[in-house]
Amino acid sequence: MEPTPHHLPDNDPQRELLHNEVHARPPARVRLPALVVYVAVFNDGVSRESEWEHLRQLPGQQDLLPEQLQGNFLRLRVPGYTLKWERHTEFTRYSLVQALPADAHLGSRDPELLSRIALPHDWLAGIPGRTFAAVKLVMLHGDLQHPQETLAQARTWLGEHTVVASLMGNNAHSMVVTDFLLRESGYERMLVVAPADTTETRAGRISQRLLEIETYRLIALRGLPVAKQLGSLLARSEQQLADITAQMENKSATDQDLLDALVSLAASVERATAEHAYRFSATQAYDALVGQRIAELREQPIHGTQTIGEFMQRRLSPAMATVAATAQRLTSLSERITRTSALLRTRVDIAGEEQNRQLLAKLTKGQELQLRLQSTVEGLSIAAISYYVISLVLYLGKAAKASGLPVHPEMLAGAMVPVVLWGVWRTTKRIHEKLHAEH
């Protein structure tokens, strides 16, 4: 045992949580022959407390504490069976592992299993949530030296349906057979045949991989109805965008009308993106998990039968391609709307600049007219000022004549006209020069 470390810095608050994450959901140890009953439900609107209350209804679990569910994983050992509870973001799954009834071994024909489940009556039906996956997985011993004979027995066990089957592992350590059919009971059936020396740990890993493949497959397919629903909306939106672009090109609508139509279209597309972007991303992530789990099976084909990987490639891949294409189509439409908005904004800016140029030209012309008018007014002002000054000179001459001075007022006023005009003009010019010098 290693000594307690004394020469490390203080732990980060999340160190143990992050370190133990890889151990958070260990696979069950399954002793063959075994019956695994698996139910997965969507937990939208289902609280952890309601799931805790339901788990407490199991025999001997009345003392179960809510804190025991905080890690999102719990394994309950009840006499005769083991129940595993796991809560995820979108769903919660329950896995029951119990001994296989004696009359359900390989060689029997479509054995009835529901009445043999060790759980209390109606306990499964009372699980809070909405079921999206339910599987009865039977794991038993069998001979893998003659795969075709074992496959024929497995087909009889499943009820003579068209099956998907493969040998798993590089050394063909087990065989999986299923028909992926949803029966009237609401369950699918899977059968795993393994040799007598199969360890409980290996059997647990096999069951976990198979059940996760089916779980992630079904959740990944949740994006398909959304993609189909968006098809008509995308078609209408693309046509509207094409019409708006054509109107911009032909200048058959005002900028305000185009802007209103474009804003309405952008709002519709952004709403669809906000509502469904997570679903499309989740579909992509779950599809990747399905591929990983299938790769971990390391399947080897059995002559004349599809493997699980081939089945998924043919049946799941088209649906995933549809979802991916719809997501890309939605993103592309949003980008095209953005580019069209930029074009319209550029058009509005150019029109605004042209209006500003015309307004500036009008202002320039008005200033020129104002300068001409000002010059005219200034000329009249010089004449008016000169007139008043000459009038003053005339009055002065008359006053001087009346006082006895030898002055002829009219002659004096006439003589002063050129001098006064020049003086007023010169004064006005100096004022203009001073104003220009200050600016």
Q: pLDDT by residue (tens digit) across 310-347?
A: 999 999 999 999 999 999 999 999 999 988 888 878 77
Same domain, 263 and 412: no
**Distant-in-sequence, close-in-space partners of 249: CB < 8 Å, separation ≥ 6:** none
Number of domains in the chain: 3
Q: How many residues make up the chain in this entry? A: 439
Reported as type and span, the H/E element at residue 135 is strand 130-141
Same domain, 160 and 108: yes
Measured distance CA(181)–CA(160) in Å, rounded = 12
Question: pTM of the prediction?
Answer: 0.76
**Are 301 and 307 contacting, i.e. CB atoms less than 8 angstroms apart?**
yes
Q: Does residue 32 form part of some domain?
A: yes
Identify the residue whose tokens are 């030296």.
145
- Write out the residue range of the structural domain in which residue 131 sits: 25-208
Same domain, 197 and 229: no
Q: Domain end: 185, 208, 231, which one? A: 208
Same domain, 202 and 231: no
Both tokens assigned to 314: 């043919």
Same domain, 85 and 134: yes
Q: Does residue 10 form part of some domain?
A: no
Beta-carbon count within 10 A of 179 CB? 19
| Closest by CA position to 282, among listed 226, 211, 209, 207 | 226
Burial readout 62-75 (b: 16 or more C-beta within 10 A, e: otherwise)? eebeeeebeeeebe
Burial readout 346-374 (b: 16 or more C-beta within 10 A, e: otherwise)? eeeeeeeeeeeeeeeeeeeeeeeeeeeee
pLDDT truncated to tens, each residue of the chain (439 aa)?
Answer: 555 556 788 888 877 777 766 666 677 789 999 999 999 999 999 999 999 999 999 999 999 999 999 888 999 999 889 999 999 999 999 999 999 998 898 888 989 999 899 999 899 999 999 999 999 999 999 989 899 999 999 999 998 888 999 999 988 899 999 999 999 999 999 999 999 999 999 999 999 999 999 999 999 999 999 999 999 999 999 999 999 888 888 887 787 888 888 889 999 999 999 999 999 999 999 999 999 999 999 999 999 999 999 999 999 999 999 999 999 999 999 999 988 888 878 777 777 777 778 788 777 777 777 766 666 666 667 777 777 777 887 788 788 878 878 878 788 777 788 887 788 778 877 777 776 776 6
